[in-house]
Chain A
Amino acid sequence: MGKSRFLGEFEQFVLLAILRLGEQAYGTTIRQILLDVIQRDVSIGALYTTLTRLEDKGLIRSAMGEATAERGGRAKKYFEITAQGKRALQETRQSLDAMWRDVKLSFVGVKQ
């Protein structure tokens, strides 16, 4: 497996958030789910930097949506995970599972 196929921790969180949100995945909802589920209050700029990087890698695609009054008449940018993105998530999870296999938490300093 090539180095570029591994996903960083935050990249995995963002991809999983997009998967959970389905057709409602855009900046505000992704930020919200990251805060609600893993209590990570990430700035909108940091989130969009990661989203742009994932899109450049071909792991997600985006499409502009409708403009609403509550957004000051500005359109939403919806994100969707690609087949390549799903594959990258799967491979990263398998790699992590393989590394964790037969590792007892006491090995890494956690009392059981």
Chain B
Amino acid sequence: MNKYSPPRIAEALLEKVLPADLKEPLLGDLEEEFQQIQFNQSKQACQIWYWRQALLTSFHYINQTQKALIMFAFSVLFFTALTIFAMELSGGTSMFFDVPSLIITLPPALVFTLAVTSPGNVKQAFSCLFSGHVDSLRQVKSSAMVFNVLGNSCLWLGALMTLLGWVAMGSHIEDVAVIGPAFAVSVLTLLYAMGVKLVCYVATQRIMFLGQGLSPNAD
């Protein structure tokens, strides 16, 4: 009897979190038991049972297999929390949010990065960063270059757009009501760019650290 399969998302979570040598036996055990409990439990109860097992099991192994991802996410969250705290102290967070300022820096920087490297390199760089695993020095170099290009492009674009804003302000120097908000937006663009550059710097250093100890012949 095989009425229904285990929830795919829970299975994918376990695939991601479990150590390589335990994936096959542990997922097999869960599937076997999932098929058995279908004889006397409803579909919903079986799904809940599987999800409970998947979450408890992930909790046991996530620190072992996803430490790099957890630490990177934690550092980014910590940085974000401190930034928001500083914004609050400066008179509220609302004045620090401006979507156009972000749009004119991050997407063009990403396009530049794709043009300089390749979509494959970009995907690989993020994969190395989140998995905490690099195979060769070539991978380290290409991944570090992705974050370097992304961070630097973003920073230069931010500086360029800020200067552009100042030119616009200069041409309306007589209108004080325009200059105030325009100045805030132009500086905000630079602020976002520096934030992205900082995260990219940390990512580059993380990749370089992961590559320590790799033999030059491992390529």
Contacts and interface: CB of A to CB of B under 8 A. Distances in A.
Interface of A: 26-28, 31, 43-46, 48-49, 52, 64, 67-68, 70-72, 74-77
A68 B28 CA distance: 9
Q: Interface of chain B, helix or strand or loop or mixed?
A: helix
Interface residues of B, number: 21
B27 A72 contact: yes
Contact of A43 (B22, B28, B57): B57
Contacts of A77: 24-25
Interface stretch (B31-39, B133-141, B143-151, B201-209): B31-39
B26 interface: yes
B28 A72 contact: yes
B27 A74 contact: yes
Given A31-B33, A48-B22, A75 B28 contact: yes
Contacts of B22: 48, 52
A67 B23 CA distance: 13
A43 B22 CA distance: 14
Given A44-B53, A45-B56, A70 B26 contact: no
A20 B59 CA distance: 29
B29 interface: yes
B31 to A, nearest CB: 4
Given A44-B30, A44-B57, A70-B35, 15 more contacts: A26-B25, A28-B32, A43-B53, A43-B57, A44-B26, A44-B56, A45-B59, A48-B22, A70-B2, A71-B32, A74-B27, A74-B31, A75-B24, A75-B28, A77-B25
